[in-house]
Amino acid sequence: MALPRPPEPGVLRDPEVDRLLNQPDHQGLELPHSRQVYTNRSMNLEDTHLVGFDMDYTLAVYSMRQIEELAFRMTLERLVATKGYPADLVCLRYDHEFVIRGLVVDKAFGNIFKMDRHNHVGRCYHGRRELKLDERRALYQTNEKIRLSLPRFAWIDTLFSLPEACLYAEIIEALEARGIDIDYHKLYDDTRDTIDEVHRDGSLKTELKKDLGKYIEPDPELASALHKLRSGGKRLFVLTNSLWDYTDPVMSYLLDGRLAEYASWRNYFDYVIVGAQKPAFFAEHKPFTELRPDGTVASTNVESFERGRIYEGGNLFDFERLTGYGGENVLYVGDHIYGDIIRNRKASQWRTCFVVQELEKEIEYIDEHRDEVHKLNELDALRGRLDDLINHHKLMLNSLDRKLDRAAPALAQELEAMRTREKRDLETLRRAFKAAITESADTERRFERGANAYWGLVFKEGNENSRFGEQVQDYADLYTSRVSNFLYYSPMQVFRSPRAAMPHERIRGY
């Protein structure tokens, strides 16, 4: 990317420096915004000796719509078969637009809502009906602060959990349309238990394994990205909660035979750990077990790690001891904001990169609608200016009123004329303010509904960052849309976070 020329004296004024600064990098490619790696906390990749990857939704990019529909259908069928829900509910359809990551389920009222970074409840649905502003205020703008740690709330923070939020809303909609009273808490717990069961007993993964091509989108640049990191002298590892019988076919599908130097996917990685049970991996002390390639246990007493072997379970402390790497020399790349990033960050000194698949679509959308974003910013500034002017003119009018009360008849006529002018100006400003609010609300609605008709952008809620966006900013050192984006960066890349600015610093030109 061409860099802006800093207005500094000395060597930076050298035309040769200028020429070099304006040369494109990335082998002449201008990397699109949607494929860049973004930095919350600066780090130098040269200091990273070990790079670890989660598998599901990190190395393996799933075709969201296909896998969500499968999980939705399997869970619904099982709810009907085992929990006594009406048989015709199996006709419900999955609406992949209706759920996004970062939503909250309120089991007390059967609602789903999105929050901003201040825990303020934004858009909210009961079943498929959007709550009106006064309904939302009555429920969520009381003195009681919303604490997501309460059992009343469930945070939809993984892509795996999107289908359960959709199921919850669809079942509420369908049953209430028939006048059936629902225990919202129980319905959520039934849905959660059933979806867990579909995952735990292997039935979902058995279906996936039957046709990996249907559910996984192989990334043609993944193998080269991993190879580039290895060529830069880094060791790689896989740390996944999936078990060996699923990890092996998925990883084979992703990487086997992609590059001549690597016949098997296992050649890319120095350590392979399956069934890691994150977040417990970062908090508890479960021992490692060594597995044979057929999945049977080879040893329960793991005293050293060897390249090419397969390990299961384990914990952070033993991992660092057995690999000889730890702290800031390890970068872990994952897609689960809690299990891969937050819990990891609290227990270890590892650096983290959050893979957020939705970012690609979201950035492309914002880029395509740059004019609307610009217009929204301008309207915000205009509203602020008009608001200040209205207050100023109100004060002027009050002061004229007071003067008129006490004025001698000779002055009264002049003051009255001034008062009329002030009143007219105030009316003009009020009309403009009202128009700016309407225009801003219309533009915002159009812009957000274009991204997602129900929830708007994943990372934003109104003017604020969404709670999800805020967590990404707080806990992930880096974030990006897919692992292969590292292909466009040097293994010695210094990722620099933008200069932090408090609101008082954000003045024009700073």
Which residue shows structure tokens 């004025």?
A: 407
3-class SS shares of the chain: helix, strand, coil, % to 5: 50, 15, 35
Establish if 56 lies at the interface with Mg ion (CB under 5 A).
yes
Binding mask 312-351 for Mg ion (x = CB under 5 A): -----------------------x----------------
User: Parallel, antiparallel, or unpaired: how do β-strands 288-291 and 297-299 relate?
Assistant: antiparallel
- Least distance CB 59 / Mg ion (angstroms): 9
- Least distance CB 215 / Mg ion (angstroms): 14
Nearer to Mg ion (CB atom), residue 279 or residue 456: 279
- Least distance CB 344 / Mg ion (angstroms): 12
Binding mask 269-298 for Mg ion (x = CB under 5 A): ------------------------------
Establish if 157 lies at the interface with Mg ion (CB under 5 A).
no
Nearer to Mg ion (CB atom), residue 316 or residue 436: 316
- Least distance CB 336 / Mg ion (angstroms): 5
CA dihedral 220, 224, 226, 227 (to 10 degrees): 150
Residue 15 makes CB contacts below 8 A (sequence gap 6+) with none
- Least distance CB 263 / Mg ion (angstroms): 26
| Cα→Cα distances 128→76, 100, 138, Å | 17, 14, 19
Piece of the chain touching Mg ion by CB under 5 A; list 46-54, 63-71, 266-274, 481-489 = 46-54
Nearer to Mg ion (CB atom), residue 59 or residue 79: 59
Separate counts of helices (H) and strands (E) for the chain: 16, 19
Nearer to Mg ion (CB atom), residue 313 or residue 334: 334
Residue 407 makes CB contacts below 8 A (sequence gap 6+) with 415
Q: Which residue is nearest to Mg ion (CB)?
A: 56
- Least distance CB 58 / Mg ion (angstroms): 5
| Residues 106 and 113 sit within 8 Å (Cβ to Cβ) | yes
Establish if 54 lies at the interface with Mg ion (CB under 5 A).
yes
Nearer to Mg ion (CB atom), residue 115 or residue 337: 337
What are residue 113's DSSP bridge partners?
A: 104, 124
Nearer to Mg ion (CB atom), residue 357 or residue 443: 357
Nearer to Mg ion (CB atom), residue 76 or residue 483: 483
Nearer to Mg ion (CB atom), residue 57 or residue 305: 57
Number of residues binding to Mg ion, judged by CB under 5 A: 4
Establish if 448 lies at the interface with Mg ion (CB under 5 A).
no
Q: How far apart are CA 211 and CA 204, in angstroms?
A: 12
Establish if 57 lies at the interface with Mg ion (CB under 5 A).
yes
Nearer to Mg ion (CB atom), residue 209 or residue 394: 209
Residue 257 makes CB contacts below 8 A (sequence gap 6+) with 263
| Residues 122 and 455 sit within 8 Å (Cβ to Cβ) | no
Q: How far apart are CA 394 and CA 381, in angstroms?
A: 20
- Least distance CB 55 / Mg ion (angstroms): 7
Task: Please confirm whether the linkage preceding 279 is cis (ω < 30° from 0).
Answer: yes
What are residue 115's DSSP bridge partners?
A: 121
Establish if 219 lies at the interface with Mg ion (CB under 5 A).
no
| Residues 3 and 24 sit within 8 Å (Cβ to Cβ) | no
In three-state secondary structure terms, 389 is helix
Q: What residue ranges bind Mg ion (CB under 5 A)?
A: 54, 56-57, 335
